[in-house]
Amino acid sequence: MAKKKYLIVGAGGFIAGHITKKLLDEGNVIIAADIKPKKFWFQKFVDAKSYDKIDMKDYNNCVNMTKNVDYVLNMACNMGGMGFIENNKTECMLSVLINTNLLRASLINKVKFFFFSSTACVYNIQKQKKTFIKGLKEEDAYPAMPEDGYGWEKLFSERMCRHFMEDHGLEVRIARYHNVYGPLGTFDGGREKVPAALCRKIATAVLSKKNEIEIWGDGEQTRSFLFIDDCVEGTLRLLNSNHSEPINIGSDQQVSINQMADIIEKIAGIKNLKRNYLLDKPKGVRGRSSNNENAIKVLNWQNRVSLKEGLAKTYKWIYSELKKDSLNSNKYCRS
């Protein structure tokens, strides 16, 4: 699929930004679109046609942007960490308009291929009530009981992709991402996910010489976390495959939030941080991990970057970003 013309929707975001850069490096023609102004994009793309402040929930925008495009990658959605997802269910659900209208426009403009970025939040929450559960297989999304709001939107959009393929012959690919993290992503402001949030909190403690951090929940809830480089590799393998069913792109290295905080503290060279557990904050499911059997079999892909290695790179980047603003002392008032 090299040297084709891609429309990447949500290109100003974290995962999409890294994928856009990789596809540009491979010599492809890229049209990058995002609702955010360019100054808020995580990466800038000199070699791409970039369109900011464009709302792809609007059907006419979708029709215009998909003209003369070979492949559409829908990476756009209104989402963030658990705090944002729990408190903004309506906004998360409205992202269904992006996928629906992009699919309709792709048919009109005879797009060859459509990619949808889904999430592990589609999995049945009844199967995630214990810590350190077995990795979730793709079929564990049914019977359907995903996380409210964001999870339902993603599961519904998966079904839309499937039916556009069955009814209209549109080639689709669907990745279920599991907690992707790494440099050049959100680490504050309320939309950050756990790895970035903990890296920020611990880096802030180091810089401010404070000896405490806050953790949402009791810290015993578990997840698996996928480093961005592995995510990009797995996604590109999926794009080049013939696999049209949803597939996990995640890590099977499951850890508790407390264990991850231990790893980051060692990376930061700090000991004995007091942990204030906020039991009234959104916590999500009790345990979640990815079963990668299908990815290994179908894509010949397995994550390679260990959690310790990935967190070291992420912490280093977040620490450097915070240090740049060290003159702004109120930057370190957040816990």
Sequence-separated (6 or more) residues with CB below 8 Å from residue 80: 88, 186, 190, 191, 192, 193
pLDDT, tens digit (0-9, with 9 covering 90-100), for 60-97 = 999 999 999 999 999 999 888 888 888 899 999 999 99
Q: Domain ranges in the chain?
A: 5-180+227-249, 182-224+253-291+306-333
Under CATH, domain 182-224+253-291+306-333 is a member of which superfamily? UDP-galactose 4-epimerase, domain 1 (3.90.25.10)
pLDDT, tens digit (0-9, with 9 covering 90-100), for 277-330 = 999 998 899 999 999 999 999 999 999 999 999 999 999 999 999 998 764 555
Mean pLDDT, the chain, rounded, equals: 94
pLDDT confidence of residue 326: 66
pTM: 0.94
For domain 5-180+227-249, the CATH class is alpha beta
pLDDT, tens digit (0-9, with 9 covering 90-100), for 17-57 = 999 999 999 999 999 999 999 999 999 999 999 999 999 99
**What residues act catalytically?**
150
**Considering only CA atoms, which of 238, 263, 260, 268 is closest in space to residue 250?**
238
How far is C-alpha 306 from the geometric centre of its chain's CA atoms? 18
Token pair for 206: 């180091």
**Considering only CA atoms, which of 137, 123, 124, 116 is closest in space to residue 297?**
137
- Percent of the chain at pLDDT exceeding 90: 89
Burial class (CB in 10 A: 0-12, 13-18, 19+), 80: buried
φ and ψ at residue 250, rounded to 5 degrees: -160, 180
